[in-house]
Amino acid sequence: MHNLKNVALKRICCALFLAVSACAVRGIAEPSQSGGVTVIKDATVLTVSRGNIAKGSILIRDGKIAEVGPNVAVPAGATVIDAAGKFVMPGIVDPHNHIASDGGTNEGTVAVSSMVSIEETIDPTDINIYRILAGGVTTVHTMHGSANPVGGMNAVIKLRWGKDARGLLFEGAKPTLKFALGENVKRARTPARYPSTRMGTMDVIRDAFIRARGYMREWDDYRKRTAAGDKTALMPRKDRELESIAEVLRGERLAFVHGYRADEMLMAMRLAEEFGFRIRSFEHCLEGYKIANEIAAHGVFPSMLSDWWAYKVEAYEATPYTTALLTRKGATVMVHSDGAEEARHLNQEAAKAIKYGGLNEQEALALVTLNPAKALMIDHRVGSIEPGKDADLVVWSHHPLSIYAVPQTVFVDGQIYFDIEKDLEMRRQMEEERKALEAREQKSAGTPAERRRPPASAASPTNVPRHND
């Protein structure tokens, strides 16, 4: 106790009279700087794309993987991380989650909410960013909910904990749009909302695409007339709702479609074909095994919940074998979390595709790394350990497909954003900080200034609850 006090006192004295830390109020730890050059040495390297290296090293330079192999020369001045006995794999890419966004994941008031964008409500202070990072995840596709046939625009983020909203965005990631089918969409609402059947759901989606085509035509016409020197052409309205759907039609934005039942997913593929685009992914895809051939033929990247079932009627036919089955039938399959807890052990969820259906280890690891990276078209940057890719890496205590594997160190862009030792240190610091603050409050509670009647604080208009629990 005495010691603790002394440490706290030292810390305070160190900081005495220094400027207020910008991060202090936000409570965000700055990532540890590991310098420009780092070498992770002597680990079992699971590259995912190019097999395993039994005793390999990875050279990280300027946030990128510079070299991987059994014999990597350590440049002078490099930070060396001895990972002997440990395992390194690419940072996990979670293709479907809802973290790091505030004020609601659904714009549920309308059937078509393609005007809204998760990117505009990124909340970099969401503690789940850190928690998931500690589970080895480095990239997340954080998505609009499934309340609307045509949902909102999603965001791809890197878990650069401590950075601001813009700093989290995955630069240059292909934009995506959420769609949803089935129970969540047709569920009764107050006030009532069309659609309330799967038929109506298809109708709303078809209508949205027809409107988007009309919108594109309107703009094409305007551009043509303007180019021809026609000064009487009136500029059409830029419409966020139709713009994002038009982008899907033009192939500039990927369609991620929430679907459970085989029939609704099959029909959605047909609808997409009707409008000349491809569905990029079926989210959850629980009955995808029934239409494996069609899924493979259409080129969908099925995005699976590993072994969830029976939580609703449309999940009653789910099986944990679907991931393996779809893989065997030729689809590029991924496993997602759909939640902050599940995201913390996606390595285990991937291992379930070995248990149920017999994928091999490389195939299983790809489910949560390379495959989602491909689906999101960011595989040139992340998803495997290859020279030139981002140094998004996880050092594990055991083979990541083992239940005993615990992430030790997590790199994003070559920076350490989670380290199990530093985490312990941070906890100690937080405890000290709490004690110091509580002591201070205790003390000032005794001063007359504080004894005054406190202001009655009603919720201010600028201070509404920020989190949608």
Partner 1 sequence: MQTRVRKITILLSGLLLLSAVVSLSGADSRAYVIRDAKVYTMGAAGVLERASVVIIDGKIAEVGVRVRTPSGARVIQGRGLEVYPGMINAMSSIGLTEVGSVDVTVDTTEMGDFKPQLRALEAVNWDSEHFPVARVNGVTASISAPSGGVIAGQAALLHLAGWTSEEMAVLKSAGMVINFPSLGGGGGRGGGGGAAPGGRGRPFAEIRREHDRRVKELAEWLEKARHYAKAVQANPSTPRDRELEALVPLVRGEMLGLMRADTARDIRNAVEFAKKENLKVAIVGGRDAVEAAGVLQKENVPVILGSVYSLPSRRDDAYDSRYAVPARLAEAGVRFALTSPSPSDTRNLPFEAGMSVAYGLSREAALKAITIRPAEILGVADRLGSIEQGKVADLVVTDGDLLEIRTQVKNVFIAGKNIPLESKHTRLYERYMSRP
Partner 2 sequence: MSVQLARLPNDRAPRRAAAAALLMAGLLAFSVPAHTQETAVWAITNARIVPISSPTLEKGTVLIRNGIIEAIGASLSIPGDARILDGAGMTVYPGFIDAFSDVGLEEARPQAAQRPAAAPAAPAWPGAPVQQQPDAEPTEESRGLTPYRQAADMISSTHRKIEPARNAGITTALVAPRSGFFPGQSAVINLSGRAPGQMVVKTPVAYHINMSQARGVGRGYPGSQMGVIAFIKQTLMDARRYEAVWNQYRSTPGVPRPEHSPALEALQAALKRHLPVVIGGDTPVEIERALALAEEWGLNPVIAGGMEAAPLAALLKQRNVPVLLAVKFVERERDGDPEAREELETIKRRVAAPANAAALAKAGVRFAFVSDDMANPRDFIRNVGRAVEAGLDRQAALRALTLTPAEILGIADHFGSIEKNKTANLVLATGDIFASGTRVKYVFVDGQRFEIPEAEAPAERPAAAGAAPPRALDVSGTWNLALTTPQGTMDVTLTVRQEGPSISGTLSSMMGASEIYDGSVAGNRMTFKISFAPQGMGGAVEVVFSGTVEGARISGSASIGEMGSMAFTGTKVPGEQ
Q: How far is the CB of 250 from partner 2 (least distance, A)?
A: 19
Cβ–Cβ < 8 Å for 186, 202: no
User: Does residue 280 touch partner 1 according to CB under 8 A?
Assistant: no
Annotate 194-224 with DSSP letters as a single string. S--SHHHHHHHHHHHHHHHHHHHHHHHHHHH
Q: Is 438 helix (H, G, I), strand (E, B) or coil?
A: helix
DSSP letters spanning 46-86: E-SSS-EEEEEEEEEETTEEEEEES-----TT-EEEE-TT-
Residue 465 C-beta: closest distance to partner 1, Å = 6
Between CA 151 and CA 149 the distance in angstroms is: 6
Please identify, using beta-carbon distances, which residue of 162 and 288 lies nearer to partner 2: 162
In the structure encoding, which two tokens stand for residue 175, read together?
A: 């934009």
Is 127 one of the binding residues for partner 1 (CB under 8 A)? yes
Interacting partner of 310 out of partner 1, partner 2, none (Cβ under 5 to 8 A depending on kind)? partner 1
Residues 23-42 that bind partner 1 (CB under 8 A): none
| Contacts to partner 2 from residues 212-231, by CB under 8 A | 231
The residue (of 354 and 377) whose beta carbon lies closer to partner 1 is 354
User: Within 13 Å and on the Cβ side, how many CA atoms surround 115?
Assistant: 11
Query: CA-CA distance, 351 to 347, in Å (whole number)?
Result: 6
- Omega of the bond leading into 455 within 30 degrees of 0 (cis): no
Residues 209-248 contacting partner 1, CB under 8 A: none
Shortest distance, CB of residue 128 to partner 1, whole angstroms?
7
307 is a contact residue toward partner 1 (CB under 8 A): yes
Q: How far apart are CA 313 and CA 130, in angstroms?
A: 34
Task: Tell me how far apart the alpha carbons of residues 92 and 412 are, in angstroms, rounded to a whole number.
Answer: 11
Give yes or no for residue 189 binding partner 1 (CB under 8 A): no
By C-beta, is 194 or 316 nearer to partner 2? 194
Are 295 and 281 within 8 A, CB to CB?
A: no
Q: Which stretch binds partner 2 (CB under 8 A): 274-282, 348-356, 411-419, 433-441?
A: 433-441
Question: Which positions from 391 to 420 touch partner 1 by CB under 8 A, shown as an x/- string?
Answer: ------xx--xxxxxx--------------
Q: Is the Cβ–Cβ distance between 199 and 223 less than 8 Å?
A: no
| Structure letter (DSSP) for residue 344 | T
Q: How far is the CB of 69 from partner 2 (least distance, A)?
A: 40
| Nearer to partner 2 (CB atom), residue 55 or residue 211 | 211
Query: Which of 190/460 has CB closer to partner 1?
Result: 460
Q: Where are the alpha helices (DSSP H) in 18-173?
A: 127-133, 165-168
Q: Which amino acid is at 191?
A: P
The yes or no reply on residue 296 touching partner 2 (CB under 8 A) is no
Residue 134 binding target from partner 1, partner 2, none, CB below 5 to 8 Å by type = partner 1
User: To the nearest whole angstrom, how small is the minimum distance from the Cβ of residue 156 to partner 2?
Assistant: 16
CA–CA dist 23, 386 (Å, integer) = 34
Which structure tokens are listed for 41? Answer: 């040495």
Distance CA 42, CA 34 (A): 18
Interaction between residue 351 and partner 1 (CB under 8 A):
yes
Q: Does 171 bind partner 2 (CB under 8 A)?
A: no
Total interface residues for partner 1 by CB under 8 A: 54
Question: Does the footprint of partner 1 cover residue 131 (CB under 8 A)?
Answer: yes
Per CB under 8 A, 290 contacts partner 1: yes
Q: Which stretch binds partner 1 (CB under 8 A): 34-42, 273-281, 354-362, 374-382?
A: 354-362
Give SS3 for 242: helix
Q: How near is the Cβ of 288 to partner 1 at its closest, in Å?
A: 10
Residues 170 and 159 sit within 8 Å (Cβ to Cβ) = no
Q: How many other CB atoms are found less than 10 A from the CB of residue 429?
A: 14
Selected binder of partner 2 within 56, 108, 320, 357 (CB under 8 A): 108
Angle at 256 between CA 193 and CA 206, to 5 degrees: 50
> From the CB of 234, what's the least distance to partner 1, in Å?
47
> From residue 425 to residue 454, what is the string marking binding to partner 1 with x (rule CB under 8 A)?
--x--x---x--------------------
Give yes or no for residue 453 binding partner 2 (CB under 8 A).
yes
Phi-psi region of 358 (alpha: psi -120 to 50; beta: other; left: phi over 0): left
Size of the site for partner 2 (CB under 8 A): 94
Does residue number 130 form part of the binding site for partner 1 (CB under 8 A)? yes
**Phi and psi at residue 209, to the nearest 5°:** -70, -35
Does residue 439 interact with partner 2 by CB under 8 A? yes
Q: Which is nearer to partner 2, 154 or 408 (CB)?
A: 154
Distance CA 283, CA 182 (A): 12
Which residues are at the interface with partner 1 (CB under 8 A)?
127-128, 130-131, 134, 183, 289-290, 292-293, 307-313, 315-317, 319-321, 325, 328, 340-341, 344-345, 348, 351-352, 354-357, 397-398, 401-406, 423, 427, 430, 434, 457, 459, 463-465, 469
